[in-house]
Chain A
Amino acid sequence: MGENVVEVSEQTWDAEIIGSDKPVLVDFWAQWCAPCRIVAPVIEELAGEFSEKIKFAKLNVDDSPRIAGQFQVMSIPTFILFEKGEAKRRFMGAMPKERFVDELSEWLG
């Protein structure tokens, strides 16, 4: 696990995500999901590069099923960008770094 991505859970959700000053991108993932494992280094790289603009977090759906359920996450990896506690953008699947940059351009600009 890299140091730039914050691991969040049901216990820390409100503090880390809802209460975050910065917009947060949450990576909903699980150990058994191959695309999740493949995309993890891409998220780590983005976090290293853009941590001033966006906070990067990951939530294990096995450990925190209620949060995954609350946002109807039923395919992973799913990525949701939260701003002031509100889900603003949602996309999914393993993708190259540039695609993430495109999806998040509104917050990176």
Chain B
Amino acid sequence: MSNEYDVLIIGGGPAGLAAGLYAGRSMLKTKLFEKELIGGQASITDIIENYPGFPEGITGFELAEKMREQAQKFDVELDMNEVTSADLSGPLKKVTTPDGEYTAKAIIIASGVRPTKLDVPGAAALTGRGISYCATCDGPFFRDKRVMVIGGGNSAVEEAIYLTKFASKVTIVHRRDQLRAEKIVQDRAFKNEKVDFLLDSVLSGVSGENSVSAVTVKNVKTGEEKEVGVEGIFVFVGNIPNTELFTGALDMDEAGYVITDDALMASIPGVFAAGDVRKNNLKQVVWAAAEGALAAVSAEKFIETQE
């Protein structure tokens, strides 16, 4: 089988799958690499209520499956391997995985973001033993237990509400005096009797023998520390873009997000970026899908101009 493609897509979240759908439907020979979860972070989201076309909401897993099915219908090859290196310099872009080397006329980077890890004393040893980054994966382990959610953005507050299905009490710990989540999400949290808040606060330590039993919470204004007994800690304190493969090769902002023009082309012709990995992205599934579509259309135009 030939390893030459029109388009290679790195990342199988909503941006990558939408890019695949558009590229495949344009009859471009397309391959998509995903190392972990088809659907990306969206696939572990409980209910997505704001993706148009699903008035009842849809689980992230189901939406991801539908997107995968739709891309594959247009002959996009899915490759569950990790891209280990990429050479973007020549007219043909090269990508390497443990299985082989592939070339393409255009590349779409849709590698997304990963959650920032909790960086406090005691946390490393207790990850997976009470510290979690996925409420839909681990929520049921905390039936009738007290848990904490760290962070004040949409993910944090939405997942806190989800966790009230299981936990006896959910405490949101946020470093500022106000949450950042959308108002509709905040209102739901305020109305939920199981949810309470520790604002102006950060976690300064985690303790437990074999699993989490307590945390130390520090008030950032007063400096005061107190110990709180909890068995679960769900962490949603931001994201890191998955762009290490392209460091030095592509223009990025200080945090590592890829900078593109309006057509989503990055600083090297023929290289496009879409979804959460791109600077100024809204971090919404609908936005990621739209960017995937645009990146694929731009890639097609680029390929035409090269021929």
Q: A-side interface residues toward B, CB under 8 Å?
A: 30, 32-38, 42, 61-62, 68, 72-78, 90, 92-99
Report the minimal beta-carbon distance from A49 to chain B, rounded to whole angstroms.
14
In the complex the two chains form, is B210's CB within 8 Å of A74's CB? Answer: no
Q: Known contacts A35-B44, A74-B141; decide if A95 and B136 are in contact (CB<8 Å).
A: no
In the complex the two chains form, is B37's CB within 8 Å of A74's CB? Answer: no
Cβ of B37: which chain A residues have Cβ within 8 Å of it? 34-35, 38, 94
In the complex the two chains form, is A74's CB within 8 Å of B132's CB? Answer: yes
Cβ of A30: which chain B residues have Cβ within 8 Å of it? 140
In the complex the two chains form, is B80's CB within 8 Å of A33's CB? Answer: no
Cβ of A38: which chain B residues have Cβ within 8 Å of it? 36-38, 43
Task: Decide if B248 is an interface residue (CB 8 Å cutoff).
Answer: no
Q: B-side interface residues toward A, CB under 8 Å?
A: 35-39, 43-44, 60-61, 64, 80-82, 98, 127-132, 134, 136-138, 140-142, 210-211, 232
In the complex the two chains form, is B81's CB within 8 Å of A33's CB? Answer: no
Report the minimal beta-carbon distance from B57 to chain A, rounded to whole angstroms.
16
Cβ of A37: which chain B residues have Cβ within 8 Å of it? 61
Cβ of B82: which chain A residues have Cβ within 8 Å of it? 96, 98-99
In the complex the two chains form, is B60's CB within 8 Å of A74's CB? Answer: no
Since A35-B37, A78-B128 are in contact, a sample of 15 more A-B pairs with Cβ atoms closer than 8 Å, ordered by chain A residue number, is A33-B137, A34-B39, A34-B44, A34-B137, A35-B43, A38-B38, A72-B130, A72-B211, A73-B128, A74-B232, A75-B131, A75-B141, A90-B128, A93-B36, A99-B82
In the complex the two chains form, is A34's CB within 8 Å of B141's CB? Answer: no
Q: Known contacts A32-B136, A33-B137; decide if A72 and B35 are in contact (CB<8 Å).
A: no
The CA of A40 and the CA of B81, in the complex, are separated in Å by 15
